[in-house]
Amino acid sequence: MLMLEKKNLTLDFKLNKKLNIAYINTCTETEGPYKRLAMWFQGCNILCKACCNPELQALRIRHIITVEELFNIILDSKDKYDIEGVTFLGGEPTLQEGLISLAFLLKMNNIGTILFTGKKIEMLDNDLINNLDLVIDGKFEVSKIDTKRNLIGSENQNIYFLTNRYEKDEKWFFEKREKKIEINIMKENSIFISGDVI
């Protein structure tokens, strides 16, 4: 058990909590402003029709990793690629037992966080919200495709700037730009495409 303190904030958590990771891209520029590490979690209980990651919906084991192991991967990425932040995607990231502890560690180390969730923000744990910088909420609705905002799937989804970290970057989400994708060849000889795929 590790106890961390900063500015009268104390959170008691275990570094050995687990996360079920499908993919990690250690440096991307398609999943939010600046260079970022993006991680896609396996498992979703929302099951949006026409989901852009249907292979991540099944509640099955992919790559089980502890908060501590994942945090070390993030620190390595920061050293190697000078990433500014981390983006949580899925699947449904909020199903992961270690997500709050990981978000807290990132906040304490001044690493920005963006969460994509199919849940409405009101449904999220306050301990999670208090450790994130930006949340994009709401399930994807294929009948409401969003063509005005970057990286946002449907018009019903909302962007919440929870801190001032990304407020200056609001135009990144709203300014028209060319669609950008990345094609990643994974270790198991599969291809994973990320970015503006809609």
Q: Where are the domains of the chain?
A: 16-195
> Digits of tens for pLDDT over the chain (198 positions)?
333 444 334 454 678 899 999 999 999 998 999 999 999 999 989 877 877 788 888 899 999 999 999 999 999 999 999 999 999 999 999 999 999 999 999 999 999 999 999 999 999 999 999 999 999 999 988 888 788 887 788 788 999 999 999 999 998 888 765 666 666 665 666 655 666 554
Element (H, E) at 3: strand 2-6
Element (H, E) at 67: helix 67-81
Q: Output the pLDDT for position 55.
A: 86
Cβ atoms of residues 165 and 156 within 8 Å: no
Q: Tokens representing 22? A: 């499908």
Q: Output the pLDDT for position 6.
A: 40
Cβ atoms of residues 173 and 151 within 8 Å: yes
Q: Output the pLDDT for position 2.
A: 39
**Burial degree of 117 (CB within 10 A; 0-12, 13-18, 19+):** buried
Q: Output the pLDDT for position 76.
A: 97
Q: Output the pLDDT for position 15.
A: 83
Rounded to whole angstroms, how far apart are CA atoms 121 and 128? 10
Q: Output the pLDDT for position 145.
A: 79
Instruction: Tell me the CATH number of domain 16-195, given options 3.40.50.720, 3.90.550.10, 3.20.20.70, 3.40.50.300.
Output: 3.20.20.70
